[in-house]
Amino acid sequence: MLTLILPALRGLMARGDTLPRLARVQPEGGEPLLTVPPGCDDAFAVLQSHVPPGTSRVTLDTGGTYEAVFTDLPGRAAGRIALVTGAAQGFGFEIACDLAAQGAWVALADINEAGVLAAAEQVNEACGRSAAVGVAVNVADPDSARAAVAAAVTAFGGIDLLVSNAGVLRAGSVKTLPVKDLRFVTDVNYHGYFLMVQAVAPILALQHRAVPSRWFDIIQINSKSGLTGSNKNGAYAGSKFGGIGLTQSFALELVEDGIKVNSICPGNFYDGPLWSDPEKGLFKQYLDSGKVPGAKTFEDVKRFYESKVPMRRGCTTPDVMKALYYLMEQTYETGQAVPVTGGQVMLA
């Protein structure tokens, strides 16, 4: 129930279209006491009649006392609350770091619970404040997805931005790829994106109901393989093509709730574990599968793929962040798949 109460409360405590972070505090005794009946199907309506404009602190009869905290931090994500999946390492971790450096509060979520808790601490150390929390999630499990969203809401009071970054890859020919690998890739990349949006969309909609002038964002980190086929990599490319179909469909449906939905399609991120992990990374998978003719080493595989890029290098996190901040700041764009590929994929 708290998962639906806090975002509504956060919206009602907004100043203009600026929503606060909600901090759990000790009661002082003069706060309004709010009661939301168990099983209430419209907590917003109940709260709306008891939270006048300018309210900065309230006590929930079953949920403690909360204070609205407005940030004076600088940055392109200042005051935003973000949930980033697949954030224990790689792109997800670096995205979370950049968001925090730009003034956001960030819930890092990953199936690797120990890793994501450590990653959140690294974010806090890097930005010099308690900006991040770590949350365990299996994006392919609906109960786990809902629990991760609830944990982010409990920590910060709501969510402004979902970065659906969790992704996996199993390369191989359609002739030989095990069905279990196909299911694994599809469960995480396609079902996981769907389930995270399903869990977070009601939160964003509640906040928009309270502040109709404010837009919220869902951004999927897709891939250039979601824009063009990938030889001996059909499971991954198929899941990413499907993700763009979800993005377009979600955008059409959720626009009425003040939610923009877009995808970013990066080129190859060679420095991340998806590529560089010595046991499971793509350098090893592509070398073992014979996807790169004549390749004998990881470096041979890397040179082969770099040669396909007009700008002759892989994609980096700063490249992706430029696209991410553009999509957050652009209030007239939804349903798009933005390539960040160094010219390797060009849209007509």
* pLDDT tens digits, 241-278: 999 999 999 999 999 999 999 999 999 988 888 788 88
Inter-axis angle of helices 179-186 and 234-254, nearest 10: 30
**pTM for this predicted structure:** 0.94
Q: Closest by alpha carbon to 75, among 262, 328, 340, 264?
A: 328
Q: Look-up: residue for tokens 């709306």? A: 48
Average pLDDT, integer, range 141-154: 98
Q: Which of 236, 270, 286, 305 is catalytic?
A: 236
Q: Is 190 a catalytic residue?
A: no
Residue length of the chain: 348
| Orientation of helix 317-329 relative to helix 90-101, angle to 10° | 60
Residue of 333, 311, 337, 91 whose CA lies nearest to 227: 337
Per-residue model confidence (pLDDT) at position 128: 95
Distance set, CA 52 to CA 9, 48, 49, 123, 212 (Å)? 11, 7, 7, 36, 17
* 39-56 core/surface letters (b: 16 or more CB in 10 A; e: else): eeeebbebbbeebeeebe
From the number of C-beta atoms within 10 Å of its C-beta (0-12, 13-18, 19+), residue 320 rates as buried
* CATH code assigned to 73-267+315-340: 3.40.50.720
> Which range, of 37-46, 124-133, 147-156, 230-239, averages the lowest pLDDT?
37-46
Q: For residues 37 and 236, give the distance between their C-alpha atoms in angstroms, rounded to a whole number.
A: 46
Q: In this structure, are residues 25 and 65 in contact, taking their beta carbons and an 8 Å threshold?
A: yes
> Is pLDDT of 161 > 90?
yes
Where along the chain do its domains lie?
Answer: 1-70, 73-267+315-340
Query: CA-to-CA distance for 304 and 295, rounded, in angstroms?
Result: 8
> What percent helix, strand, coil does the chain show, rounded to 5?
45, 15, 40
Contact 84, 165 (CB under 8 A): yes
pLDDT of residue 211: 96
Q: Retrieve residue 55's tokens.
A: 């309210």
HSE on the CB side for 76, CA within 13 Å? 12
CA distance linking residue 244 with residue 85, whole number of Å = 17
With a CB cutoff of 8 Å and minimum separation 6, the contacts of 303 are none
* CB contact at 8 A, 66 and 57: yes
pLDDT band of 77, cuts 50, 70, 90: very high
Asked whether residue 41 carries a pLDDT value surpassing 80, the answer given is no
